Structure 1
């Protein structure tokens, strides 16, 4: 089974349209969205509509959670006063232009999606979250202490945990030994479709390959493929510059930061 996973579109319609064109060429068996459909650009309604009309299962991101409740807090961890001030403009603008139907959709999105495979004698649990199983806005960066990351996954009973929120893709394999037998858990940040922050301005998503031999005891039986795709960055950046949103968001798209 080939599962497409994408996240953090952030109202970037040109990026989402390019993503759909690219992912359809890969012919996945299933597709899931890990949230943050809105914020930071001018097309929140259009992005929500594209997800809805395709019937794509989607969980709530922290920005979706805030906008769904007409909150002025997106749950973002801004590092400076300038970032915080810019963020306030973004969420106020999104709250202003979001329509009632789209807001209601965001408010009712689930927090997690859990999928259990029964392929062999052991179960294989796939957990989809936005930030972490504990908090919608918890940042799980690649340098997270291994014991901490493993504990989070064990408590959530997740063999494969896919998440977004940081906009920085990675795949870590966590090894444990139980009754003298090695088992493996996979922590996968799927990156961002519409607001990459890893220095690569192309959109990013993941193809997760599960086959009939996939097992918690064989790390190579689970394949994680990171896909990067081009989109019309200038169209998205100019839309920001022509709106009340801070121009710095346009530059972040151009630079992938």
Structure 2
């Protein structure tokens, strides 16, 4: 089975269009989005429409849920530069969609007569705002996966992709997989190209084995200048445009 994962689009329509075109070439069996549709760029409604048009199962990110707090905020950004302008662009139906998205998705596989659980989150299972950075202590990550009964944890939020394999500690040959998808619309690793992940699961293998799954991080060229210039002619801070160009 081939699964495509994308996350942290942040209203960057040119990046999302390029990623979806590339995913179509990969011919995955299914696609999941791990949240943060909005913020930083000027196309939140178009991004949401495209995700829904493609029937991509999705969860909420921290920027998406930020809309709930901004509903009561009386800060008029119509004539001044503000990062909140990105959220004011979100339409009513799009806001309702984001605020009703689930926080987690769990997928259970039956491989080699054992149950294997993939948990999809935005930040972490404990908090939508938690950063699961690659250098976190191994035991901390193992305890988290065991607490939430997951063999595979897939997440975004930090905008930096990685695949980390851990030994569970209970069984010598049982391994746990941590997969950070990186970011479609706002990479922070110095590479401005859009990013997503393809996970391939071999039916003859066990996810808990080291080579039980294949994880491929894919980067896609898109019109960065189009996105950056759209920021610069909007009421968003110009620093957002600089970050797109620099991949941060």
SS in 1 for 2:211: helix
1:55 matched to 2:55? yes
1:12 matched to 2:3? no
In structure 2, how many angstroms separate the alpha carbons of the residues matched to 1:159 and 1:44?
A: 33
1:198 matched to 2:189? yes
The aligned counterpart of 1:115 is 107
1:23 matched to 2:23? yes
In structure 2, how many angstroms separate the alpha carbons of the residues matched to 1:72 and 1:95?
A: 13
Contact 2:37-2:44 at 8 Å conserved across structures: yes
CA RMSD for the aligned pairs?
A: 1.5
Contact 1:210-1:222 at 8 Å conserved across structures: yes
Contact 1:7-1:193 at 8 Å conserved across structures: yes
1:232 matched to 2:218? no
TM-score of the pair, normalised by structure 1: 0.90
The aligned counterpart of 1:223 is 214
Contact 1:69-1:107 at 8 Å conserved across structures: no
One of 224, 236, 256 as aligned partner of 2:247 = 256
In structure 1, how many angstroms separate the alpha carbons of the residues matched to 2:85 and 2:106?
A: 33
1:65 matched to 2:62? no
Question: Cα gap change, 1:254/1:6 in structure 2, threshold over 3 Å: closer, same or farther?
Answer: same
Q: CA deviation at 1:178?
A: 2.5
Question: Cα gap change, 1:103/1:153 in structure 2, threshold over 3 Å: closer, same or farther?
Answer: same
Q: CA deviation at 1:35?
A: 0.3
Question: Cα gap change, 1:72/1:151 in structure 2, threshold over 3 Å: closer, same or farther?
Answer: farther
The structure 1 segments of at least 4 consecutive aligned residues displaced by more than 6 Å after TM superposition are none
Q: Deviations over 1:177-201 (max 9, x none)?
A: 425x420000010100000001111
The aligned counterpart of 2:150 is 158
In structure 2, how many angstroms separate the alpha carbons of the residues matched to 1:153 and 1:72?
A: 36
In structure 1, how many angstroms separate the alpha carbons of the residues matched to 2:68 and 2:46?
A: 15
SS in 1 for 2:70: coil
The aligned counterpart of 1:3 is 3
Contact 1:11-1:47 at 8 Å conserved across structures: yes
One of 101, 116, 132 as aligned partner of 1:140 = 132
Write 1 or 2 for the structure with the bigger share of helix: 1
TM-score of the pair, normalised by structure 2: 0.93
Contact 2:9-2:183 at 8 Å conserved across structures: yes
In structure 1, how many angstroms separate the alpha carbons of the residues matched to 2:241 and 2:225?
A: 8
Contact 1:128-1:161 at 8 Å conserved across structures: yes
